[in-house]
Amino acid sequence: MEKEQNAVMLKEDESVGTVRIAETVVAHVASIAASEVEGVIIPGSSASKASKAVRVEIKNKTVKVDMAANVKYGYNIPEVSQKLQGKVKSAIENMTGMTCAGVNVRFSGVIMK
């Protein structure tokens, strides 16, 4: 099997094979986790489009995330960002087994809903 671009090997065992995960999968995990935080709206109408608002860099099984988000009017941005960062970090670490070194959030808009 040829090496996939932007994928990291999670596990290699000669008796059963290898496990690789693409950066886009990690970005999708981050996007879904972020959308579960109250007061946060990730740009894009679908999960596949929403993952475009998330950039992931993986080096030595350590993940760094940069994401754009919108906040609903009336929510405290520092509180929402803390919850958002914690939720994304936890989801990535639990689902991939990699370490999440940072989640950088850029709020790009306020949504009136």
pLDDT in tens, 25-60: 999 999 999 999 999 998 874 555 555 789 999 999
pLDDT cut 90: percent of the chain above it: 67
State the pairing for strand pair 99-111/62-72.
Answer: parallel
Domain ranges (residues) in the chain: 23-111
- Fold entry, domain 23-111: Alpha-Beta Plaits (3.30.70)
The token duo for 103 is: 């989640």
Its pTM stands at 0.84
Band the pLDDT of 15: cuts 50, 70, 90.
Answer: confident
Amino acid at site 93: E
Q: What are phi and psi of 73, to 5 degrees?
A: -60, 135
